[in-house]
Amino acid sequence: MHHYAICNMPDEELFYKQCAALEKNIPGLEKEPLLEDVDGSLTQLYKKEEKEIAVHNSEYVGALYIDSEIELTQYFKKS
């Protein structure tokens, strides 16, 4: 499992920007329904070739982060 810390506090605007970046840069990404917890936390799940990617905007943990079964930096290399 790969873990990517995006922000050390929850940020809904940044959460949606991060989701958009994944959708733009990772071909073949399948978007699952958005999950919202009672505390306002958001989780967006994706699948790529049967592997899961989860973007968490967690009020409980107090952070915005990604947990992924695939390594994501390969899709965000600068030219």
Computed on alpha carbons and rounded to an integer, the radius of gyration of the chain in Å comes to: 12
46 phi and psi, to 5 degrees?
-135, 155
Predicted pLDDT at 79: 47
CA gap 40, 79 in Å, rounded: 37
Q: What does the pLDDT look like over 7-28, one tens digit per residue?
A: 999 999 999 999 999 999 999 9
77 pLDDT more than 80: no
Residues 6+ apart with CB under 8 A from 59: 10, 37, 39, 40, 41
Q: What share of the chain is helix, strand, coil (3-state, %, to 5)?
A: 20, 45, 35
